[in-house]
Amino acid sequence: MARAVITGIGAVTPAGLSAPATWDGLLAGRSGVRPLTRFDASGYPVRIAADVQGFDPLAVMTRKRARRTARFAQLAIAAAHEALQDARLLPVPPIHDRFGVTIATALGGIDVIDAEAPRLAEHPTRVTPFLLPMLIANMAASAVSIHFGLRGPSNTSVGACASGTIALAEARRWIQAGEADYVLAGGTEAGLTPTVWAALCALKALSTRNDAPERASRPFDRDRDGFVYGEGAVVFVVEREEIARGREAHIYAELAGAGMTSDAYHETAPQPEGESAAAAMRLALTSAGAGPAEVDLVVAHGTGTPLNDVSETRAIKHALGERARTVPVSAPKSMVGHLIGAAGALAVLVGVLAIRDGRIPPTINLETPDPVCDLDYVPRQARSARIRLALANAFGFGGQNCVVAVRAAPGA
């Protein structure tokens, strides 16, 4: 089967407004968690978040288009534009029918609902006529297809926090099956709204460390008290290897494998022993033709919740056996919070750029290790290491698990 390789990366995250800026922020261990200013959060028990600051949609689209496009789709277009530019595929040939788009999200344009609800309360016909196309989850992928004239396969995977890795797995399948030559694949999310905030606070899933935002996201630390909600988008150009080599494109890494499972356990809590998560890791390795001994890095889901970090630690041990004791495990959510539908794509970005640069971002705020979480989580400072194969973990609400394996480019 054809190999799928990554030739372009775009990102708009709490760590930076581009992929290089995001990577620099992660390697430096800079926290993107701040007091929440998107709306008045004074009445909520949680008043911190990891938001994208300084983003201007007019840099990539017209004012008219921006007014008709929800923030999650705006972020996706910006990240896709950077990825295409990075891959030297701009301008894209008009109406390209071999170029697919799969951009995942969990909540879609939920911010539009919050914005339009007061108008609906005043009168039932005063909402914008673009309300429905702005809020539906497939609109990020559709907006990217429209914006760049891409007529290949298009789809939106909604797999909660695993959505981003599911999109990468789908892109790999399209390339292998010969359904596309190029795919824009990744995840996007922009759910910093009062409705989402009320729901998360009621769920008691978030960190309440309001007095020290930069220290709030603490994966695998004994004193973790919940995750930090974030927003952002990460998009890749995934390309058929023979085409990439034919046009002398820079190949970051091979999208080598993917594995999906379901916990079949609970709406929000992970399966305690991590058995299904471990199965997804094993499936990713099997499809990559690799074994546990070849894994050089695990990019953890690492939410910083009491249950997830223990379950994931157990999953890594189940999947990798003795290798789990020595493999580095990095938790980028310690710096950028939980990007929900984009979280898995961010994990893939970390794996790919760690392969390129031989550098592993740290897990910051890991000050007092939890005795039950006893792996090598690269605490507090970045580390140099030779990385040939990395696993990117993503485990979503409802027990949807998707793990992606990325490997150094063939011949590299």
- The catalytic residue among 301, 318, 373, 402 is 301
Cα angle at 403 between 171 and 11, to 5 degrees?
60
Burial profile 223-237: b = 16 or more Cβ within 10 angstroms, e = fewer? ebebbbbbbbbbbbb
Cα 157 from Cα 27, distance rounded (Å): 29
Coil, helix or strand at residue 358: coil
- The catalytic residue among 81, 96, 161, 373 is 161
Nearest to 118 by CA among 110, 126, 109: 126
Q: For residue 93, what are its two tokens?
A: 């040939």
Cα 154 from Cα 185, distance rounded (Å): 10
Nearest to 139 by CA among 96, 180, 108, 174: 108
Query: With the C-alpha atoms ordered 242, 243, 249, 250, is the resulting torsion angle positive or negative?
Result: negative
CA separation, residue 319 to residues 274, 277, 286, 307 (Å): 9, 8, 11, 18
- The catalytic residue among 81, 96, 338, 373 is 338
Is residue 123 annotated as a catalytic residue, yes or no? no
How many other CB atoms sit within 10 Å of the CB of residue 43? 10
How many other CB atoms sit within 10 Å of the CB of residue 215? 17
Tell me the pairing of strands 154-155 and 383-384: unpaired
Cα 389 from Cα 377, distance rounded (Å): 17
Is residue 201 annotated as a catalytic residue, yes or no? no
Cα 257 from Cα 285, distance rounded (Å): 6
How many other CB atoms sit within 10 Å of the CB of residue 76? 35
- Is residue 72 within 8 A of residue 105, CB to CB? The reply is yes
Coil, helix or strand at residue 334: helix
Burial profile 308-334: b = 16 or more Cβ within 10 angstroms, e = fewer? bbbbbbbbbbbbbeebbeebbbbbbbb
Residues 6+ apart with CB under 8 A from 367: 218, 221, 223, 380
Catalytic annotation, residues? 161, 301, 338
